[in-house]
Amino acid sequence: MDYDNKIQNKYIMKPEISSATSLTYSNDGSVSRTESQIIHEHIINLYINDNLYARTTCTADNLAELVVGKLICERMIENYEDIDCIDISNDGGRANIYLNNDITMSAGIMLEPTCCTSNRVYFDSGVRDYLKFDDELSARCHKIEPETVFKIIDAFQKGSHIHSNTNGTHSAYLAYKNDVVFSCEDIGRHNAIDKVIGYAAINKLDFSKCIIFTSGRVPMDMVQKVIFARIPILISKSVVTDEALNLAKDCGLTLICKAWPDKYELYA
């Protein structure tokens, strides 16, 4: 993928899938030798202004998008313009991020889980009010026609390369002005969300006209990411938790879950 001059991505992509031999035991007592496809697990260390910020386990593609989206979703930056440059190493194990403004790093580093742990986050009333979509934006951006939802679901149903071979990834899709413009996979559903948000930021898309689809379930931290990015609509193939739904309602996020080829449920 071509990037602007802010991003220097030297990483030479490794195969996303490798193979392993296993013994398959069946309930009829038979045993067979099986060649299985497994996912390459990658670790990237993120340095902000030369300070180690996070160590993230991911699928080793769309690393620049992952970095930018992660910074936005964790409120380290407000938008892509806050970044001076990003340099990703040849082995993809390090991303040097330089911001236009100095920030104070907290002690220690963040370890990004591939599943949801410690995701029960509470906001005080002031933060919730700050994150609410305003009425004008809601009226303009939060309505979505059923045909658009089913168009995005159909794109997901056509499958993803890594998942179709391994059954081991989550997918995320980005629709812009009601058309799917980008999709990605990752071993972590949080990372997949970061990647589509990073793509939107790098390509200077208007976030208010974006829609995100995720194959994963929607706990509170997934809703939080989308709200932090100021994207008004989130669609999931899976289910939502009560705290996530409460946050979506409080902030005015349009939330669609159980999005299947024949039906979907509109919650907020």
Instruction: Write down the pLDDT at residue 140.
Output: 59
Q: What is the pLDDT of residues 41-67, one digit of tens each?
A: 899 999 999 999 999 999 999 999 999
* 233-236 vs 254-260, strand pairing mode: parallel
Dist CA 201 CA 70 (whole Å): 11
Q: What is the pLDDT of residues 122-141, one digit of tens each?
A: 455 556 676 788 766 665 56
Instruction: Write down the pLDDT at residue 121.
Output: 46
Which of 26-30, 110-114, 189-193, 203-207 bottoms out in mean pLDDT, i.e. has the lowest? 110-114
Closest-CA residue to 225 (of 74, 62, 123, 4): 74
Residue with tokens 């999005």: 259
For the purposes of burial, counting CB atoms within 10 Å of the CB of 125, is it exposed (0-12), middle (13-18) or buried (19 or more)?
Answer: exposed
Element (H, E) at 125: helix 125-131
Would the pTM of this model clear 0.85, i.e. be above it?
Answer: yes
Q: Could you give all domains of the chain from N- to C-terminal order, each with its CATH number? A: 125-266 (3.40.140.10)
Instruction: Write down the pLDDT at residue 19.
Output: 82
Instruction: Write down the pLDDT at residue 131.
Output: 76
Instruction: Write down the pLDDT at residue 55.
Output: 95
Q: What is the DSSP string of 230-251?
A: T--EEEESS-B-HHHHHHHHHH
Dist CA 250 CA 65 (whole Å): 28
Q: What is the pLDDT of residues 79-115, one digit of tens each?
A: 999 999 999 999 999 999 999 987 655 444 444 444 4
Residue with tokens 């208010």: 208
Element (H, E) at 46: strand 42-48
